[in-house]
Structure 1
Amino acid sequence: MKKYRVKIEGMTCTGCEEHITEELQKIGANNIEVSFRHGRAIFELLDEVNIEKIKKAIIKAKYIPSEIEEIESKEKMVLGVENDYDYVIIGSGSAAFSSAIKAVEYGAKVAMIERGTIGGTCVNIGCVPSKTMLRAGEINHFAKSNPFIGLNTSADNIDLSKLIEQKNKLVKELRQQKYIDLLNVYGIEMITGEAKFISEKTVEVNNRKISAKRFLIATGASPVVPNIPGLDEVDYLTSTTLLELKEIPKTLAIIGAGFIGLEMGNLFKNFGVKVTVIQRGNNFLKNYDPEIADTVRKFLREKGIKLITGVEFEQVKQIGDKKQVHILVDGEKKIIEADQLLIATGRKPNTARLDLYKAGVEVGSREEVKVDEYLRTTNPRIYAAGDVTMGPQFVYVAAYQGGIAADNALGGYSQKVNLEVVPGVTFTNPSIATVGFTEKQAIEKGYEVKTSILPLDAIPRALANHETTGIFKLVADAKTQKILGVHVVAENAGEVIYAATLAVKFGLTIEDLRESLAPYLTMAEGLKLASLTFDKDISKLSCCAG
């Protein structure tokens, strides 16, 4: 028998799944699993059945087979015998829980090992605490300064300790509901302590040796601290400790201009803090389209956040309660002095104390766990998922990978990770959201590219809000007209980008966007208006005329 995976276009419901299953059964397929949501079918066939016969069966069901690949066929693991556990997961964040829940559904006996606080980065020190604080900052900002004539609002002094208390309460509630309570719901055993591998199939925790048929490494990542002279003698902050401050500083210097630096700079600027963001290189937001980077520079200036790029760091000093960052910019020495210093120069995988070499697990140049397209490490018993692999650093990517790891480790699948269409959002004001290729990336991939650039002042919602700093950019294939990438700087860009993600993922065209009705006076209407600007001047159209 051979096992096949087929990508299928045109499925919309469970009825579609049934039609395809019927036709595949007619050609002798077994163990058929069809998913309209994933747009695929997985099944087994006798060796003599050829690819053309598979295509004809799917076409007969009135669907389109786009890709057919033979995958490694392996039987599901026999669970519940031998070893201490079927599946041991090191870490307890999004990747870990997603994988554990899927593993339990397969009937596996699962243990999770956590050396710190259950829940991982997102709920404890990442997404949840930062976004609730960012919302607080937005409200404070608009209370102090709004764009509407005749509307008188004001903001009193901020009690940061109360905000932190409320934030911690939310974190505690979500950690309990979405992590701790699920342990009992799914029968997952939690082992508290630090895991270290002592062999290819055994870890040791608190002097207890634990063996398993399969392991998942999902230990996440933590802040990187750059090698700057004097920094180790300074009382600096990370994104974690910054959100535990009890008093608002008057000035904040941030080393690093990535999404963490920009979000935290935006937050504290909205709290009334004088913020300076410092970046080593000249190429600001280097992985974004230049129009996006230029727009972000513009709104930083408008907000009063000082951005310094092309910096050479000489040293950092602490003078009393003040922190001094000594830099060289274009040959000129400067000193940035601030009450608080935030280090936001990226993250590193948490692998140093796992003794991975004892398990035959290789790591890369950044100490990340090396995995193949099935999330297997160099030890086929051991998988890895989430930030520890240094893929896209998003909680939803980690959860997606955790599920695939369980499917492949325990379910007998050979499912490849597909990260071709991953949306990303930076929660500034306005926010930055992207999905798919930039113009440069599309050209490098060999596409003949056409683009549409629409400033926010051409979007009715932005005009109604009196907030017009921003941009929509669409990148399309000039030959097929398919949307390859969408890049937005606007209020609620994170909400808009999900629709754009579907457009890129499912190969929608410029014409598809044009022909779709877009609700007037929404920011999402910008997608349709941007599609019109490929060959129209929308300033010469009436409202809703598109």
Structure 2
Amino acid sequence: MNSDIIIIGAGPGGYETALYAAKKGLSVTLFEERRAGGTCLQEGCIPTKCFCRSAEVADTVADSQTMGIITSAPTVDMARIVARKNEVVDQLTAGIEFLLKNKLITYVPERAELLDAHSVKSASGETYTARHMLIATGSTAKIPPIEGSGLPGVVTSTQLLDIDHVPARLCIVGAGVIGLEFASIFRSLGSAVTMLEFAKEILPNFDTDISKRLKQVLGKRGIEFFNQAGVKSIEPNGPALTVRYTWKNQEHTVEADTVLIATGRAPRVEGLGLDRVGIHYSPKGIETDDNLQTNVPDIYAIGDVNGRCMLAHAASFQGRKVIDHLLGEKSNIDLHIIPSAVFTRPEAGMVGLTEEECKQRGIAFTAKKSLFRANGKAVSMGEPDGLCKLIADENGRIIGGHIFGAHAADLVQEVSALMNRGTTIAQLKEMIHAHPTLSEVLQECAREF
């Protein structure tokens, strides 16, 4: 079978690119060995947000007395939480599969392997050809070489999403986005949570002001942090587990019922036939240029597999950029402005440069902050913990936005939109914001300049 483009992988990057290509009149053959939706829908963004919502409800009920609502203490039904998560995933998966019933899209629910620059072989042995290839195979959980990481009770985020109980004691190795979200979730559901992070700060890629304050607030919620901690081994201890780690030049242990390994993701490159075709790649992912093109003409790679930015929305827009490039159409997509968020309680969000990055690159900048505790909506919501930080270059143009607090993930999108249009701090000051809203923290921050 011949088509204009073959896409390997039906995650957000793959299936959204397929739909966009078909809308542009291109014929597509789309391969997926698992379920449509990829990591994001099946074991990442969407399932964890289901858990986040359950945790938020548990917190709301537990805190209801402060709002004048008297209730009994909440009881957590983990089986029902998981069942609801599965219902949401199934509903959205069915929706994607329905969209893929497009006359220009041939959906093949099988694994595909590259034969050459223009053809692949499916798991069932059929050969498919196309003028262009797009690799969008995503990533897998990265497991460090820790002795005992294969023991029962030691899980990845995928396995934790199907757990049938709330662990009394949860130890999380890695305080990045994945680790922190699960720490916040299971603390709300009743777990005692200990986090072991090798780096100096949590959320190493976030602005230090945000990561430090988020750590402080999560610590007040009872999550215990050990930064610059090196995990040495995990050992069975009856029905429990003992995690051995070094911290401040001494060996320590922590007992846990479940240990989550949350040390990041690795590009899914195995078994694709990259070596056969001569595609350049490394442990960081498939090498691509600014058009997401590999060193082999007509083969592109998007999303987690190229290691540029492991976010679902980054993959989707990289795919759009590829199709625009293939069709010779001008694209205004700026892949340097990609917002990201951490759905802890409170949330954290960022876009653009951090203060540390500006210093490293020698960029002249000004940074100012505003606090949620001065925002009427935040205080009335009972969510006064929060910080907004804006960074502007020497011309006053906004080059970075960093927020932690209620609905930070939504608020940072306004900063992203402003940055995409080259907005200055002076212009933001003059944009009327509704009152009372959380978004006023952005305008108040601008007024600090």
CA contact (8 A) 2:65 2:71 kept: no
Q: Residue 372 of structure 1 aligns to a residue in which SS? A: coil
Per-residue deviation, residues 143-202 of structure 1 (Å, max 9, x unmatched): 11247264323333211111111111111111111x110121344112232212222322
Note if contact 2:371-2:441 (Cα within 8 Å) is conserved in structure 1. Answer: no
Number of the residue aligned with 1:419: 335
Q: Residue in 2 aligned with 1:305? A: 223
> 3-state DSSP class of the match of 2:101?
helix
CA 359–147 in structure 1, closer or farther in 2 if over 3 Å, else same: farther
Q: How far apart are the structure 1 equivalents of 2:424 and 2:405?
A: 23
Distance 1:415 1:518 in 2: 30
- The separation in 2 between residues aligned to 1:145 and 1:463, in whole angstroms, is 15
Q: Deviations over 1:394-422 (max 9, x none)?
A: 2111111112222223x134758632211
- Mapped contact 1:234–1:316 kept (Cα < 8 A): no
Residues 166-185 of structure 1 correspond to what in structure 2 (within 5 A)? 166-177=84-95, 179-185=96-102
Q: Quick one: distance in 2 between partners of 1:494 and 1:186? A: 36
Native 8 Å contact 1:234 1:323 kept in 2: no
Residue 372 in structure 1 maps to residue 289 in structure 2: yes
* Equivalent residues of 2:196, 2:231 under 8 A apart: no
Q: Is 1:111 paired with 2:26?
A: no
AA at the equivalent of 1:135: R
Looking at structure 1, the residues matched to 231 and 91 of structure 2 have their Cα atoms a distance apart, in angstroms, of: 41
Aligned counterparts of 1:290 and 1:378: Cα–Cα separation in 2: 36
User: Which consecutive unaligned segments of at least 5 residues does structure 2 have?
Assistant: none
What's the C-alpha RMSD, in Å, of the aligned pairs?
A: 1.8
Kindly indicate whether structure 1 or structure 2 has the higher relative contact order, using CA contacts under 8 Å at least 6 residues apart. 2
Identify which of 109, 114, 120 aligns with 1:197.
114
State the secondary structure of the residue aligned to 1:232: coil
Structure 1 contact 374–416 (Cα < 8 Å) conserved: no
How big is each residue's C-alpha offset from its partner over 1:276-320, in whole Å with a ceiling of 9 and x where there is no partner? 111012233332222112211111111111111111222111223
Matched, 1:457 2:373: yes
User: CA shift at 1:112, angstroms?
Assistant: 1.0
Out of 417, 424, 435, the residue aligned to residue 520 of structure 1 is 435
Identity %: 29
Question: 2:117·2:297 contact (CA, 8 Å) conserved in 1?
Answer: no
Asked if the contact 1:161/1:247 (under 8 Å) is kept, the reply is yes
Three-state SS of the structure 1 residue aligned to 2:422 is coil
Q: Secondary structure at the match of 2:190?
A: coil
Aligned match of 1:326: 244
Q: Give the whole-Å Cα distance in 2 for the aligned partners of 1:454 and 1:474.
A: 9
Provide the C-alpha distance between the structure 1 equivalents of 2:361 and 2:440, rounded to a whole number of angstroms.
Answer: 29
User: Are residue 488 (structure 1) and residue 406 (structure 2) matched?
Assistant: no
SS state at 2:260 partner: strand
Separation in 2 of the partners of 1:401 and 1:290?
28
Q: What is the distance in 1 between the residues matched to 2:276 and 2:101?
A: 32
Please give the per-residue CA displacement for 1:86-135, whole angstroms capped at 9, x wherever unaligned: 21111111111122123223433321111111221122111111112101
Quote the offset at 1:246 in angstroms.
1.4
**DSSP-derived class of the 1:207 partner:** coil
Is the Cα contact below 8 Å between 1:457 and 1:468 reproduced in 2?
yes
Q: Which of 159, 164, 167 is residue 77 of structure 2 equivalent to?
A: 159
**Match for residue 185 of structure 2?**
267
* Residue 443 (1) aligns with residue 364 (2): no
Which among 192, 195, 209 is matched to residue 277 of structure 1? 195
Compared CA separation, residues 118 and 472, structure 1 to 2 (3 A): same
2:132 matched to which residue of 1? Answer: 214
CA deviation vs aligned residue, 1:474-505 (integer Å, no higher than 9, x gap): 1112x322222111111011111111112222
Structure 1, residues 6-26: CA drift from partner, whole Å, max 9, x if none? xxxxxxxxxxxxxxxxxxxxx
Matches within 5 A, 1:113-132: 113-132=31-50
Q: Relative to 1, partners in 2 of residues 1:480 and 1:147: Cα closer, same or farther, differing over 3 Å? A: farther
- Could you tell me which runs of 5 or more consecutive residues in structure 1 were left unpaired when the two chains were aligned: 1-82, 535-546
Assess, with a 3 A threshold, how the Cα gap between structure 1 residues 149 and 107 changes in structure 2: closer, same or farther. closer
Q: How does 1:325-404 map to 2 (within 5 A)?
A: 325-366=243-284, 368-404=285-321
Which residue identity is paired with 1:92? A
Q: Which amino acid aligns with 1:362?
A: H
Alignment partner for residue 244 of structure 1, among 142, 162, 178?
162
TM-score (norm 2): 0.95
SS at match of 2:385: coil
SS of residue paired to 1:170: helix
Aligned to 1:504: 419
Structure 1 ranges of 4+ moved more than 6 A: none
Tell me whether 1:468 sits opposite 2:384 in the alignment: yes
Change (3 A) 1:106 1:156: closer
Note the 1:86-105 alignment, pairs <5 A. 86-105=4-23
Greater mean deviation of Cα atoms: 109-118 or 436-445: 436-445
Task: Please show how residues 213-232 of structure 1 align to structure 2 within 5 Å.
Answer: 213-232=131-150
Distance 1:180 1:346 in 2: 29
Structure 2 counterpart of 1:253, from 171, 174, 197? 171
Q: Normalising by structure 1, what TM-score?
A: 0.79
Question: Which residue of 2 is the match for residue 141 of structure 1?
Answer: 59
Decide whether the 8 Å contact of 2:6 with 2:28 is kept in 1.
yes
Quick check: 343-352 or 194-203, which moved more?
A: 194-203
- What is the distance in 2 between the residues matched to 1:318 and 1:483? 51
Q: Is the CA contact 1:86–1:110 (under 8 Å) kept in the aligned structure 2?
A: yes
CA distance in 1: counterparts of 2:107 and 2:418, whole angstroms? 41
Determine the structure 2 residue equivalent to 1:290. 208
Q: Distance in 1 between matches of 2:314 and 2:27?
A: 25
Which deviates the most, 142-151 or 219-228?
142-151
2:172–2:261: 8 Å Cα contact kept in structure 1? yes
Aligned length: 448
Q: 1:305 to 1:279 in 2, by over 3 A?
A: same
Specify whether residues 425 and 147 from structure 1 end up closer, same or farther in structure 2 by C-alpha distance, changes over 3 A only.
Answer: farther
| Contact 1:234/1:317 (<8 A) preserved | no
Identify the range of structure 1 (249-258 vs 433-442) with the bigger mean alpha-carbon deviation: 433-442
Cα separation, partners in 2 of 1:414 and 1:533, compared to 1, 3 Å: closer
Amino acid in structure 1 at the alignment position of 2:352:
G
From the superposition, tell whether residues 84 and 284 of structure 1 become closer, same or farther in structure 2 (CA, over 3 Å): same
Equivalent residue, structure 1, for 2:349: 433
- Whole-angstrom distance in 2 between the partners of 1:413 and 1:466: 49
Query: For residue 13 of structure 1, what is the aligned residue in structure 2?
Result: none
